Structure 1
Amino acid sequence: MACQLPTECLNEILEYLEEDKLTLHSCLLVNRLWCKIAIRILWRNIWNFKNSYQPRSLRMSLSILSTLIANLPNESKNLLYENKIFISTPTLNSSSLFNYAEFCKVLSINKIVSIIKVVINDRYGLVVNEIIKMFTNEITSLEKFTYYYEHYSHSKIFIPYFPGAKDLSVLCCSSNIPSNFFFKLSQISHNLQTISILFEDNISNGLKELIFSQNKLKNLTLSTYDRINWEIIIPAVIKHSQTITKLQLYSDDNGLPFSFVNSFTNLQKFIFSFIDGVIFEDFKKLQYANFPKLEILKIPYQCPKSEYIIKFLENNGKNLKMFYVGEKNKALSSSIAKFCPNIRKLFIIFNNDEIDILKTIFINCKYLESIKIWCGNGFLIKKEVLETVVNHSPSNFHELKMFCSSSSDVSPEDWESFFIGWKNRIPKKLLSLTFIDYIENNENLEILKKYKNLGIIKFWTKGFEEEEMDEESDYYQ
């Protein structure tokens, strides 16, 4: 007699497959119990797929849409029929098998619009509204809601009262959603932990009220471009200065207030990415701030004056575990070894004559595990980098990422020497070696593959955009 796993045990096992959609789909075919559990997990966040015009993505969009149409109440189906909107549904009567809408914990209005527009170019608003109405009635506990309002395509989309949003923990939205939406949400949803706001040309009055009404806000992202100001919501944001631990600011405006960050004394992660000639004068006030719990600091693009950042590191570098800065400055690079002894993960740009600074960082930062650097064309020489890594990197070090902006200056003999040196290090660690926007010549590739097969390294190449996306997967998932 076959052994039957308890339902609770099977559920826990399949939960681990949440990100592995292909395997979860296979589980649907095992038996009815497996299907029931897998369906709930798959539909928890059904929008989590790449939406493009590739055939596979189009099939996925059509599959999701046809299933949703099949689950619409008869009133909605009749309305679409009367308006001569016909969308094929699965051969089997899926609506009698599962109520898919009630499984959803993540809802994206933009994804709904996107998959419907792939199939229907005209009068898609009617279909969108009927599907949203179904989700509104069926979802009893919503965890994440995403809605970036677009005037030109969303003017006829109606977001009704959403009782399931009382348990909402993540909100990603634009500032120009009609105020009525924010006011309603502020009345029922008081436990948002993450809010991400894209500031558009209009800022709804209800947005400030929504932010102010929260009790557990931990993560805040503010993004604004085209000279749109976020100053109007700062008083509501400061109300959460003791609970917010992750703050991300994105803009192209050098006039935006910046020093309000000084209030967030429990900050653990701080990212600010400003472009287009920003001068960061407001950061002059922030350089003296003290954030005793700060572990992640990322400044991907333009940077405040190096003396400001150095002073900031002097005050806050001791607890940093990750530092990412897109700045090439000798004094700033040297300050890392001095002020960031506990750093684990680092991205810094060196000039070609600064290999000794890299060596000093390796010697002084004894917990360093990963570094990303640029090589070639005015940056560090790759051969010198490899020699420094194998001879001076600390015992926990195991990941090297290199932007290579020119042809290789490393011979097969150099690679052999590097890998033999790495193999003989104590303690022994598998080295993760990544080339970004560059690939070695065939002769060197053979050496790399040889040591990959011997279990000395993990090796792969990435495009720049792929690496930038991966940067978001850091110590705080």
Structure 2
Amino acid sequence: MSHQLPVECINEVFEYLDDDKINLRSCLLVNRPWCKSAVRILWKDIWNFRYSVDYMPYRTHVPFAIISTLISCLPDESKDFLNKNGIFISTPTPKPPLFNYASFIKILSINRLDEMIQHILKNKQSTNSLSLDYNKHLIAQEIIKMFMNQIPSLKRLYYWNNFTNIPFNIHFTYFHGARDCLIDLSELCCSSDVYPEFFYQLSQICHNLQSLTIEFRDSISNGLADFISVQKNLKDLNLLSFGTKDWTDIIPPLRKLSNTLIKLNVHGGENDVPMLFITTYSNLQELTLIGQISFEELQYVILPKLKILKIPAERPKDEILIKFLENNGKNLRELNIDGIDNSLRESIVQICPNLKKIY
């Protein structure tokens, strides 16, 4: 009499292999229940392979295998649409796919998808640069349309605007099924210059992000402030400045995050980043500051629940740091400060009685 583990147990065990792609691939060959469980995890995030298109040399078959499998999952009307536009990408088998692979995806990177499609089209010798951009847009459009319809609940979305790679904006928030797909989105990583309609539409759908990362460029989309202002449960905020644009327009919505935010990471750019917006963050527990930061504004800020402070580069003047720690060091457990000498270390230890780790 044979005994098999329940599917729920197999799924639970395989979750621990999330980062072990090699062993997960081996599990595909055991039996159908193992195969189904392993496939579900392998396809949860198909953009993080170490041999992706960012790495040279890389396994060139991987982008083709992923895109061709996704093409095989497209509905017939999408396949016909691509064929009518002269786009023919071979699929792994003429038979229907064993699984609805698109439905397993939990993480979506618009940029990785774009890079994979471009890699495939560039290898088609008959494709010129003009038709490459157009064909890339059509393929991406149909695949993302399928994602919005087939993914029950997307958890993480990456969308970095890159004009050299993404020639057309795909308004995928209007596709059928987009609301159900995106309503429980928990993490968004994007650039500040993504087209405004993306943020406006997402503001109508997604109100419960847990984590938000914004890379600030030389322009800030008109819809970004509205999107930030409707978030009700944001815990983790990462603000990365790589342009010259100031943040004046988004300071008011940033202040509205005061009740929920517990982790803040600010990476300053060419200009000093204004920091007074954090005065309302009474529940903040972890603060990381890197680069050009207006430290003078911080010395009188009160963060009663702060436990972790990281300033790994370009730390403030000693007197500013000491004043900040006098106000916020009582509950501090961990401190990472660039260039601490013995004298400053002794002062910090006296101010922060509960400090467990300093480096």
- TM-score by length of structure 1 reads 0.68
State the Cα RMSD in Å. Answer: 1.9
- Given the superposition, is the C-alpha separation of residues 330 and 80 from structure 1 closer, same or farther in structure 2, using an over 3 Å criterion? same
Q: Identify which of 170, 182, 190 aligns with 2:199.
A: 182
Q: Identify which of 346, 349, 353 aligns with 1:334.
A: 346
Counterpart CA distance in 1 for 2:295 and 2:146 is: 48
| Residue 48 (structure 2) pairs with residue 36 (structure 1) | no
Cα offsets for 1:23-68 (capped at 9, x unmatched): 1111111111111111111111221223234455433222211211
Alpha-carbon distance, 1:315 to partner? 2.7
Aligned residue type for 1:116: I
**What is the aligned partner in structure 1 of residue 221 from structure 2?**
204
Counterpart CA distance in 2 for 1:190 and 1:230 is: 22
Cα offsets for 1:144-189 (capped at 9, x unmatched): 1110112333231313222210111111111111111111111111
Alpha-carbon distance, 1:92 to partner? 6.1
Aligned residue type for 1:68: L
Q: Secondary structure at the match of 1:223?
A: strand
Q: How many residues align structurally? A: 341
Counterpart CA distance in 2 for 1:49 and 1:330 is: 44
**What is the aligned partner in structure 2 of residue 117 from structure 1?**
118
Give the alignment of 1:309-388 within 5 angstroms: 309-347=321-359
Counterpart CA distance in 1 for 2:324 and 2:59 is: 46
Aligned residue type for 1:207: L
Q: Is the 8 A contact 2:285 2:307 kept in 1?
A: yes
| Residue 248 (structure 2) pairs with residue 231 (structure 1) | yes
Q: Identify which of 76, 79, 83 aligns with 2:78.
A: 76
Q: Secondary structure at the match of 2:321?
A: helix
Structure 1 gap segments, 5+ residues each: 348-477
**What is the aligned partner in structure 2 of residue 96 from structure 1?**
97
Q: Secondary structure at the match of 1:85?
A: coil
Cα offsets for 1:392-440 (capped at 9, x unmatched): xxxxxxxxxxxxxxxxxxxxxxxxxxxxxxxxxxxxxxxxxxxxxxxxx
Counterpart CA distance in 2 for 1:181 and 1:273 is: 29
**What is the aligned partner in structure 2 of residue 129 from structure 1?**
141
Alpha-carbon distance, 1:333 to partner? 2.6
Q: Is the 8 A contact 1:112 1:128 kept in 2?
A: yes
**What is the aligned partner in structure 2 of residue 286 from structure 1?**
298
Aligned residue type for 1:261: I
Counterpart CA distance in 2 for 1:174 and 1:14 is: 33
Greater RCO (CA < 8 Å, at least 6 residues apart): 2
Counterpart CA distance in 1 for 2:56 and 2:3 is: 42
Larger Rg: 1 or 2?
Answer: 1
Counterpart CA distance in 2 for 1:262 and 1:64 is: 46
**What is the aligned partner in structure 2 of residue 220 from structure 1?**
237
Counterpart CA distance in 2 for 1:21 and 1:255 is: 42
**What is the aligned partner in structure 2 of residue 107 from structure 1?**
108
Alpha-carbon distance, 1:332 to partner? 2.6
Q: Secondary structure at the match of 2:115?
A: helix
**What is the aligned partner in structure 2 of residue 270 from structure 1?**
287
- Given the superposition, is the C-alpha separation of residues 68 and 55 from structure 1 closer, same or farther in structure 2, using an over 3 Å criterion? farther
Q: Secondary structure at the match of 1:233?
A: helix
Q: Identify which of 140, 153, 163 aligns with 1:151.
A: 163
